[in-house]
Amino acid sequence: MTDKIQTILAEMTLEEKAALCTGAGPWTSVPIERLGVPELTVSDGPHGVRRAIDAHAIVTESVPATCFPTASCLASTWDIDLLHKMGVALAEECIALNVDVILGPGVNMKRSPLGGRNFEYFSEDPFLAGELAASMIDGVQSKGVGTSLKHYAANNQEYQRFSISAEIDERTLREIYLPAFEKAVKQSKPWTVMCSYNKLNGVFASEHSYLLNDILKNEWGFEGLVVSDWGAVRDRVAALKGGLDWEMPGPRQQRVQAVVEAVRSGELEQSVLDESVRRILRILFMAQETPKNGSFDIDAHHQLARKIASEGMVLLKNNGLLPLGGQPRIAVIGRAAKEAHFQGGGSSHINPTQVSAPFDEIQALAETTELTYAEGYPADNSFNQELIDQAVRLAQAAQVAILVIALPSFKESEGYDRRDLDLTDQQIALIQAVGRAQPNTVVALNNGAPLAMSAWIEDVAAVLEGWMMGQAGGGAIADILFGKVNPSGKLAETFPLKLTDTPAHINWPGDAGKVHYGEGLYIGYRYYDAREMPVLFPFGYGLSYTSFAYSNPRLSASKFKDVDGVVVTVDVTNAGQVAGKEIVQVYVHDRQSTLARPPKELKGFAKLELQPGETKSVSIKLDLRAFAYYHPEHKQWVTEDGEFEILIGASAADIRGRVTATLESTLNLPCILDKESTIREWMADRRGKVALGPLYEQIESQSRKTFGGGDERYGNESAIGMDIMEMINDMPLYSVLMFQPEAMPMSPDEVVDFLLQQAYSIE
C-alpha cells in the first residue's frame, strides 16, 4: 500500500491534495476518479450507526440501526469482552449500511455531572475509560471498519464548547484528561482521532501542534488521520500545521484555495500537506479492503443490546423487595414506561430498528399479574397534581408500584449542560407521594448522568439505575426486576449528595472565555477521597441479589522492579443462593511521593461469574504505569522507590483487602535542581543529596545558632518558639545561605553554583 500511496501522491495536483484534506460533503471525502481514489464515508456514533439517508445534509433522517445503550450504561458493565462484542455488531451494521468509519467512541472525562454530553462518555476515571474504549475499538476494527476516538481533548462541557479555553496544567492533563486517549491509541490503533471544538490553554484543539503532532503522532505513534469535529476548524492552514489532516464537513472551497495559496507562497510547507494526504489515503485504501454490502441480524443485535443493558444497569438500593415474585397486581407509573426514553439528544441520536417499552416487557414476564398504568408526569416541565393523585390511587390498590422515571431531554442533551442534578419538580413529587402511599415501590431511572436523590430515596424500597438504556432497555429492566438477570453493573462515576459537593463546582462553567480546571487531579472519587466527603453512591458501587466474600489477597512479590510490575490475586466466593457476577477493583496508594498524589487510583479490574458457593481466584497484573505519575519538570512519567499499598475492593468505598509491596525504580532521572530549589528538594534528589550532604550538618548547626541563640535548652525549637529546621528545609538553599554569610567561605551565589555543578556532574 505504501508504494501505491507514494505513486498517487506524486501524480496529484496541488489542488487535488488541498481538496482531499477537506470533506466533499457532510459525511464523505473528495474522490479523485482519475487516480482511482475513492470516497470515504463516515457516520455518527458511538452507540449506533447514524447513517444519513441524504449524505449531503448534516441534519437528516437516518436509516434504521440498532440503538445500543449509551456510554454511561456501557461503562457500568465493566465488561471489556461485552464491549468488544458490541464493537463487532456495530461494524457489521456499518458494512451493511456502507459506512467506512463510525465516529466514536468518546473518552472525555466526566469532570462534572452537569456535562450535557456525559451520557456519551464512559467515566470519571481515565483507566476505566481507556480499557473500555480500547476493547470497543478492537471489536469494530476487527471487521475492517474504522473508528474515530473523540473528542481530543478536554471537551468536558457544552457551555461555549466551540470557543471555551480549558485551562489545565500539564500534570493534570497527562494524568487525567489524556490517558484514556493514550491507552486506546497505543493498544487499539483507531483509524482516526477527532479533535474537539474547544481551546486548550488558549489554542484551538484543531490547531494544537503540541496535542496533535508532539503527543498524538510523535510520542504515542498514532498512524491514522486526525479529523476535525464538525465545524471545529477556524484557520485551515494553521490547522494543517498543527496536525489536523481532514476538515469536516465540506465542501469548503475557500479553505481549499487558502491551502493552495499558502503552499505557493511558502507559508505552508509542501511536506506538511503531503503528510496529511498520505494519512488520508492510507485510511481510504484500508476502508476499501472491506466490501460494503449485505444486511445484519436485526433480532440478534437487539438481543445483544438487551444483554448489554442488563449488564450495565446498576441496582442502587434494595430493601429486599427485588427480585419481584408473583404479585397479583402491579401499578406501573411514569410516561417512560410506555414511551421508552433510551438515548440522548444530538448527533448520536439513532433511528432504532425496534423499541422495547418497559410496560410491555414487564407484562411479558408477569403474564399472570394484572398491570395498571398511570402517566405520572407530563412531557413538558409543567406541574400536574392530578397525574400524581391518579398514580397514588393505583399504587395503593396494588401490591407493588414500579415508577419508570426518565430525565427529560430538555434537561439533558448534547448542546447544553444541565443546570442541576435534579429530576423535574413533578417527578420528585410523584416519587415522594407514591413511595409514601405504597411501601413496596421501585424506581427505575432512565438518565445519562448522576442524579440527586436525597429528597425521595428514603421513601422507596428499591432504586434501579437504568441509564439511557438503548432500544432493548425495556426488556433489561424487566429482566432485572423479576430476577431473570441478577444485576451486576457498578457505577463508573460517583453520585454526589448535592451539586455543591462536586469538585469542579466553583470553577464551572467558566467565564471570560476560559474555564479553569482548578481541582487539578482531584476529579470524581479522587476528590471525595481526599476530602473524606460522604457521597450518595461511590464510584464502583452496585448491588446484587447475592453477596460476595473476598479472601486471601496476595502479591506475586513483596518487592519488585517497576519494569516488571506485580500481580495481585484474591479469592472471591459467591456467598449467596443465586448465581451472580462480581467486579473486582484494584486501587493503588502511594505511601510517600515527591509530588502530591490522590489517596488511591484505579489501576485494574476484572469481572467474574460465580455459582452459589463457588470460589474463584482472580489475578490482575499491575504494570509500571500503575505506580507512576507524570512529573512536569522531568516531562515524563516517573516512579519512585518506596512502599505501595494495593487495595482490593468491591467499590472505591468498600475495600475488602490490603497488601503492601515495595517498588524499586529503575529510572535514572536527570537532575532538575536549580538556584531556587529548597533544602528539602536537594536532600530528596539522589545527586543533590550527595553534593549537599557534607554541608547540610553545618547549615543545620548554624541555623540553630542563628535562630536559637545557641542555647541547647531550646532543643528542636528556636528562641522564637518554632521548629527551625521545618522552616529551613522548605527555604531555597540560596536564601538559607543569605542568613549565614560568616559561615561560608564564598558568597551564596558561588556556593549554590558550585553545588549545582557538582550535582549535575554525578552519574
d(CA 368, CA 348): 39
Dist CA 561 CA 351 (whole Å):
52
Q: What's the per-residue H, E or C state across 527-553?
A: HHHHHCCCCCECCCCCECCCCEEEEEE
Question: 322: number of CA atoms within 13 Å, CB side?
Answer: 31
Spans of the chain below 50 pLDDT: 709-711, 713-715, 719
Return the closest-CA partner of residue 149 out of 174, 116, 182: 182
SS3 252: coil
CB atoms within 10 A of CB 591: 11
pTM above 0.85, yes or no: yes
How far, in Å, CA of 122 to CA of 126, rounded? 9
- Strand order across the beta sheet in which 101-103 lies: 42-44, 101-103, 146-152, 192-195, 225-228
Q: What is the DSSP secondary-structure string of 115-154?
A: -TTGGGB--S-HHHHHHHHHHHHHHHHTTT-EEEEEEETT
Residue that the C-alpha cell 475492517 belongs to: 144
Backbone angles phi, psi at 710, to 5 degrees: 70, 15
Cell of 612: 452459589
Cell (9 digits) for 465: 439505575
Task: Determine the pLDDT at residue 711.
Answer: 47
Q: For the domain covering 548-664, report its CATH number.
A: 2.60.40.10
Beta strand pairing status for 199-200 and 42-44?
unpaired
The neighbouring-strand residues paired with 586 are 604, 648
Which cell goes with 91? 461494524
**Which CATH topology does 307-493 take?**
Rossmann fold (3.40.50)
**CB of 695 within 8 A of CB of 736?**
no
Architecture of domain 2-288: Alpha-Beta Barrel (3.20)
Helix (H) or strand (E) holding 76: helix 71-77
Confidence at residue 60, expressed as pLDDT on a 0 to 100 scale = 77
- Average pLDDT over the chain reads 95
Model pLDDT, residue 739: 80
Rounded CA separation 503/613 (Å) = 41
Q: Enumerate the active-site residues.
A: 229
- Which are the contacts of 314, defined by CB distance < 8 A and separation ≥ 6? 76, 464, 465, 467, 487, 489, 490, 491, 541, 542, 543
Q: Cα–Cα distance between 652 and 53 in angstroms, integer?
A: 45
| Exposure string over 514-549, b if 16+ CB within 10 A, otherwise e | ebbbebbbbbbbbbbbbeeeebbbbbbbbbbbbebe
3-state secondary structure 604-639: EEEEEEECCCCEEEEEEEECHHHCCEEECCCCEEEC
pLDDT tens digits, one per residue of 167-222: 999 999 999 999 999 999 999 999 999 999 999 999 999 999 999 999 999 999 99
Domain ranges of the chain: 2-288, 307-493, 548-664, 679-761
Q: Which candidate, 415, 515, 527, places its Cα nearest to that of 176?
A: 527
Q: Cell numbers for 123, please give them.
A: 467515566
Question: Phi/psi class of residue 232: alpha, beta or left (left: φ > 0; alpha: ψ in -120 to 50)?
Answer: alpha
Under 8 Å between Cβ of 16 and 296: no
CB 242 within 8 A of CB 212: yes
The letter for the amino acid at 385 is Q
How many C-beta atoms surround the C-beta of residue 264 within 10 A? 11
- CA dist., res. 543 & res. 104, Å (int): 30
Identify the helix (H) or strand (E) that includes residue 9.
helix 2-11
What per-residue confidence (pLDDT) applies to 292?
A: 93
Which is nearest to 630 in space by CA: 107, 126, 78?
Answer: 126
